[in-house]
C-alpha cells in the first residue's frame, strides 16, 4: 500500500511538472518564435499606442466611421471578458425589439436599400471584428457624407480592406472594421 501511494504521488508530481509547466512553456515559446503576431493577439498600433486587436471587435458609433455588427457580449457589448451570444431565441420580444430598432435606424440611413443581415444580428461570440463587404458598402454613403469625401474613394477603401475567403474556400469574404476605420483616419484625418 505504501509503495502504491508513493508511486501515485510521484506520478502526480511528474505529470504536473511535465504537462502543467514544461509543455505549456514549450508551446508558448514555439508560438512566440514561429507566430509572434498571432501569439500576442494580433494587436494593432497607431502612433506607438495599441488601439485594438485584429481578432476582437470593438464598437464604433460615430457617423464618420464604419460600424461593427451589434454585440451581446456584456451589458454594453464588446466586453471581451463576457464573450458569448445573447441566447435569445428568434421569438424573444427583447431580441425582436432590438432588431426592429436597428432596422428602423438603418432604413433611415439608407432608405430603400436592403439591409445586410450582419448589421442587425450579433455573432456567436459577440466580438466579431468583421462585417461583410455588403455591410461595409451599405455604410459608404453615411461615412462619405460625414467625412466630406467622394463615395467612390470611400468605396475604394472598402475594396482595399476587404479580405477573401481564407485559402479560397474557408469562411466568407469580410472586412475588418478597425482596420478599415484606421485606413479612413489615415486618408481623411481622425474625427473626434
Q: What is the mean pLDDT of residues 59-70?
A: 90
Question: Cα separation of 10 and 53, whole Å?
Answer: 43
Question: Cα separation of 134 and 155, whole Å?
Answer: 11
User: Could you read off the pLDDT of 21-64 as tens digits, one per residue?
Assistant: 999 999 999 999 999 888 888 888 888 888 888 888 888 888 99
Please tell me the pTM assigned to this model: 0.80
Question: Cα separation of 23 and 48, whole Å?
Answer: 33
pLDDT of residue 157: 96
- Position with higher pLDDT, 84 vs 62: 62
Shared domain for 107 and 124, answered yes or no, is yes
Shared domain for 46 and 127, answered yes or no, is yes
User: Could you read off the pLDDT of 124-177 as tens digits, one per residue?
Assistant: 788 889 999 999 999 999 999 999 999 999 999 999 999 999 898 998 999 999
Last residue of a domain, one of 40, 55, 70: 40
How many folded domains does the chain comprise?
2
Shared domain for 65 and 112, answered yes or no, is yes
Q: What is the mean pLDDT of residues 73-95?
A: 80
Would you say residue 115 has pLDDT above 90? yes
pLDDT of residue 53: 85
Shared domain for 80 and 4, answered yes or no, is no
pLDDT of residue 176: 95
Shared domain for 24 and 59, answered yes or no, is no
Shared domain for 36 and 47, answered yes or no, is no
Contact 172, 128 (CB under 8 A): no
| φ, ψ dihedrals at 32, nearest 5° | -65, -35
DSSP 163: E
pLDDT of residue 41: 80
Determine how many CB atoms are found less than 10 A away from the CB of residue 76.
9
User: Residue 112 — very low, low, confident or very high, per pLDDT cuts 50/70/90?
Assistant: confident
Question: Cα separation of 8 and 11, whole Å?
Answer: 5
Range of the domain at 161: 41-188
DSSP characters for 50-67?
EEEESSS-----STTSPP
Q: Which residues pair with 162 in a beta bridge?
A: 175
Amino acid at each position: 500500500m505504501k509503495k502504491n501511494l508513493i508511486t501515485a504521488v510521484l506520478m502526480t508530481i511528474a505529470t504536473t511538472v511535465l504537462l502543467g509547466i514544461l509543455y505549456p512553456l514549450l508551446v508558448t515559446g514555439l508560438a512566440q518564435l514561429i507566430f509572434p503576431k498571432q501569439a500576442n493577439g494580433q494587436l494593432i498600433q497607431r502612433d506607438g499606442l495599441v488601439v485594438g486587436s485584429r481578432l476582437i471587435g470593438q464598437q464604433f458609433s460615430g457617423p464618420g466611421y464604419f460600424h461593427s455588427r451589434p454585440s451581446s457580449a456584456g451589458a454594453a457589448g464588446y466586453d471581451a471578458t463576457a464573450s458569448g451570444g445573447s441566447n435569445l431565441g428568434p421569438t424573444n420580444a427583447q431580441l425582436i425589439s432590438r432588431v426592429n430598432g436597428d432596422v428602423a435606424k438603418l432604413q433611415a440611413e439608407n432608405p430603400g436599400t436592403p439591409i445586410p443581415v450582419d448589421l442587425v444580428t450579433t455573432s456567436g461570440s459577440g466580438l466579431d471584428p468583421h462585417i461583410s463587404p455588403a455591410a461595409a458598402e451599405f455604410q459608404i454613403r453615411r461615412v462619405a457624407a460625414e467625412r466630406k469625401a467622394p463615395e467612390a474613394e470611400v468605396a475604394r477603401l472598402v475594396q482595399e480592406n476587404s479580405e477573401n475567403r481564407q485559402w479560397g474556400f474557408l469562411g466568407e469574404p469580410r472586412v475588418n472594421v478597425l482596420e478599415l476605420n484606421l485606413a479612413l483616419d489615415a486618408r481623411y484625418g481622425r474625427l473626434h
